[in-house]
Amino acid sequence: MSDPALDILKSTFGYQSFRGFQSDVIGEVVAGHDALVLMPTGGGKSLCYQIPALIRGGTAVVVSPLIALMDDQINSLRELGIRADCLHSAMLPEDRAQVERELLLGDLDLLYVAPERLLTESMQRLLDQIQVALFAIDEAHCVSQWGHDFRPEYLQLSRLQTRFPGVPRIALTATADLRTRQEIRERLGLESARVFTDSFNRPNIFYRISQKKQGKQQLLNFLNKEHPEDSGIVYCLSRKKVEQTAEWLAQAGRKALPYHAGLSPEERRSNQHRFIAEEGIIIVATIAFGMGIDKPDVRFVAHLDLPRSIEAYYQETGRAGRDGLPATAWMVYGLQDVVLLKQLQARSSASQQIQQIEQQKLETMLALCEVTGCRRQILLTYFDEPLDKPCGYCDLCLEPAEVWDGTEVARKALSCIYRSGQNFGVAHLVDILLGKSTDKTRRFGHDHLSTFGIGKELDQGNWRSVYRQLVARGYVNVDHDSHGALKLNENCRSLLKGDEQIELRRDRYEPSRKYEKEYREVGRVVVEEHDQTLWEQLRQLRRSLAEEQNVPAYVIVND
Ligand code: ADP
Ligand code: MG
Ligand code: ZN
């Protein structure tokens, strides 16, 4: 017996076989049942509603959050001879009228609509006059406040069920932790829908997260060393940084192009097109870039700033290596990123509840950065798919974090916050610990504090690292109102009292260029001061140079 879905897959789409559970989902929807599909980006969600659209009578209505996404899909469907069109607010009235006519004549297999359009009076009247094959709700996490792209218009989609009973609905998303999943089901009235979950593990992506030092230079080192000719995406938080970074990379000889919402539509389109069509293009972008980009050979995704949640991180890094070949997810971050993100959150007009949610998400993201165990285990546990053992091929599995007993220094760091009145950012606190007499320490009388100069055993970089880890582990809060002042919270009480021990991890950096030159030319480096950070850097540098070309590299440390 022939399978109509398989026939269409072969004859219309030109593929030989279904991937994963595509065929099961299609069967479910063709039979008129609801479905919730959770499949990573690039997994092949679209076919799950496109093929039922062709099998069931009438027109399938697809809700999609971005006009650019709709246009891409419609263009590729038309190339396959499928009758697809869209209705959204950016269209000319006469074009809209034309699409409505086609719809009423039953000449459309698929109609893409923006969520805010779907439930307008006029749209409802139109839909009442035609046969709706199914409703597909793409990027369904937009309905959830836990999802990272919450879109209030998606909330109205709950009415579809009562308004069009008997029409099957299929919701699809690439990122859904347990909580988002629950919200999607509740808010879309999909409690009884069958759920199809694909594995969220992306075994070909190598995750690497390290501390930010000189940001851009670290990025360039990484690119030159590991991806000298590959194309990839670099994410930054602000438009300005996008432009600066793109320019900087271009000057360093890479084909780098900016992409953010402030560019003209032509420039965005052209840069996006070059990224897909040419080889070796690096797109430097804000998060505005990527939804729906279907480029299989993105070899790396780099983050110069911390993403605001694990979902965002997973979604963005997920754009790498869709062809299944090895790809790198690289990131550097620092405490400054946390301060900035918190300030952005506080400035947003979102409700208190949403701000709280965002805060929690940021904290989980930070925890991923500071783990000492397997990165992939943490990531997959978040998506309710725990790995039973370390993956063996993430940065921390290959080179386990070095930990040290930080109980004593953590107590010093915390009491310094307390003694100075919980009103100061990390730079000033470190000055106090190191006993640096600055205008600011003198002005506030902090050079008379009992904590002044009690922290000379660590250098500035290491103290920053201590504070960053205390924030990441929830002992210290970053206050966004007063320029990133650090404040103690309840959790640190037992640490301060001496009832709790804390292990800190040693930071990793890319080796510094200055020493690299000296190493290469002289074969050794003499270091004057006892400096743990530097020592660690040099150790790594020695290791990598020795591997690379048998450089007889050694370090002399003069304490
Ligand atoms: P998603 O929406 O899950 O991110 P898409 O539906 O855009 O993914 O599909 C990603 C890519 O995989 C597309 O290029 C698509 O044509 C391709 N694809 C999907 N299903 C199959 C299949 N069964 N065989 C081969 N390629 C497929
Ligand atoms: Mg998709
Ligand atoms: Zn691992």
Containing 84, the helix (H) or strand (E) segment is strand 84-87
Beta-carbon-side half-sphere exposure of residue 290 (alpha carbons within 13 Å) = 25
Which atom of ligand 1 is closest in space to residue 18's alpha carbon? 23
Residue 426 tokens read as 């990390």
Name the residue with the closest Cα to ligand 1, atom 12.
Answer: 44
- Closest C-alpha among 67, 73, 71 to residue 117: 67
Contact 425/485 with Cβ under 8 angstroms? Answer: yes
Contact 115/92 with Cβ under 8 angstroms? Answer: no
205 CA → ligand 3 middle, Å = 11
Tens-of-pLDDT digits for all 559 residues of the chain? 579 999 999 999 999 999 989 999 999 999 999 999 998 877 899 999 999 999 999 999 999 988 877 888 898 899 999 999 999 888 899 999 999 999 999 999 999 999 988 888 889 999 999 999 999 999 999 998 776 678 888 999 999 999 999 999 999 998 777 788 889 999 999 999 999 988 888 889 999 999 888 889 999 999 998 999 999 999 998 999 999 999 999 999 999 999 998 999 899 989 999 999 999 999 999 987 776 677 889 999 999 999 988 888 998 999 999 888 899 999 999 888 888 888 777 777 777 777 778 888 888 898 899 888 899 998 988 888 888 899 888 888 888 888 889 999 999 999 999 999 999 988 899 999 999 999 999 999 999 999 999 999 888 888 988 998 898 888 888 886 667 789 998 888 888 888 899 999 887 655 455 556 665 665 555 554 445 566 666 666 666 655 554 444 444 443 3
What pLDDT shows up at residue 555?
A: 46
Cα(289)–Cα(380) distance, integer angstroms:
24
Contact 180/384 with Cβ under 8 angstroms? Answer: no
Give the number of other Cβ atoms within 10 Å of residue 389's Cβ. 8
Residue 350 tokens read as 């979102």
Residues 6+ apart with CB under 8 A from 69: 138, 139, 291, 292
Measured from the alpha carbon of residue 397, the closest ligand is 3
In this structure, which amino acid lies at residue 438? T
62 CA → ligand 2 middle, Å = 11
In this structure, which amino acid lies at residue 126? L
What pLDDT shows up at residue 12?
A: 95
Contact 198/21 with Cβ under 8 angstroms? Answer: yes
Q: Which residue has the tokens 């602000």?
A: 238
Pocket of ligand 1 (CB under 6 A): 15, 18-19, 22, 39, 41-47, 174, 294
Best probe residue, ligand 1, of 7, 18, 19, 21 (max atoms within 8 Å of C-beta) = 19
Name the residue with the closest Cα to ligand 1, atom 18.
Answer: 44
46 CA → ligand 1 middle, Å = 7
128 CA → ligand 1 middle, Å = 32
3-state SS of 120-181 is: CHHHHHHHHCCCEEEEEECCHHHHCCCCCCCCHHHHHHHHHHHHCCCCCEEEEECCCCHHHH
Name the residue with the closest Cα to ligand 1, atom 26.
Answer: 15
Cα(90)–Cα(417) distance, integer angstroms:
53
382 CA → ligand 3 middle, Å = 14
What pLDDT shows up at residue 88?
A: 87
Which atom of ligand 1 is closest in space to residue 40's alpha carbon? 3
What pLDDT shows up at residue 418?
A: 93
Measured from the alpha carbon of residue 377, the closest ligand is 3
Measured from the alpha carbon of residue 21, the closest ligand is 1
Cα(321)–Cα(325) distance, integer angstroms:
6
Q: Is 510 left (phi over 0), alpha (psi -120 to 50) or beta?
A: beta
Q: Which residues line ion ligand 3, judged by CB < 5 Å?
A: 374, 376, 390-391, 394, 397
Cα(398)–Cα(436) distance, integer angstroms:
39
138 CA → ligand 3 middle, Å = 31
What pLDDT shows up at residue 298?
A: 95
β-sheet bridge partners, residue 300: 232, 328
Q: Which residues line ion ligand 2, judged by CB < 5 Å?
A: 45
What pLDDT shows up at residue 95?
A: 93
Best probe residue, ligand 1, of 15, 21, 317 (max atoms within 8 Å of C-beta) = 15
20 CA → ligand 1 middle, Å = 11
pTM of the model: 0.75
344 CA → ligand 2 middle, Å = 29
- Closest C-alpha among 471, 43, 401, 382 to residue 208: 401
96 CA → ligand 3 middle, Å = 51
In this structure, which amino acid lies at residue 387? L
Residues 6+ apart with CB under 8 A from 388: none
Residues 6+ apart with CB under 8 A from 461: 507, 533
- Closest C-alpha among 64, 26, 32 to residue 47: 26
Give the number of other Cβ atoms within 10 Å of residue 95's Cβ. 13
198 CA → ligand 2 middle, Å = 14
Name the residue with the closest Cα to ligand 1, atom 20.
Answer: 44
The per-type count for the chain, helices as H runs and strands as E runs, is 24, 19
Cα(555)–Cα(558) distance, integer angstroms:
10
Q: Is 534 helix (H, G, I), strand (E, B) or coil?
A: helix
Name the residue with the closest Cα to ligand 1, atom 23.
Answer: 18
Which atom of ligand 1 is closest in space to residue 19's alpha carbon? 23
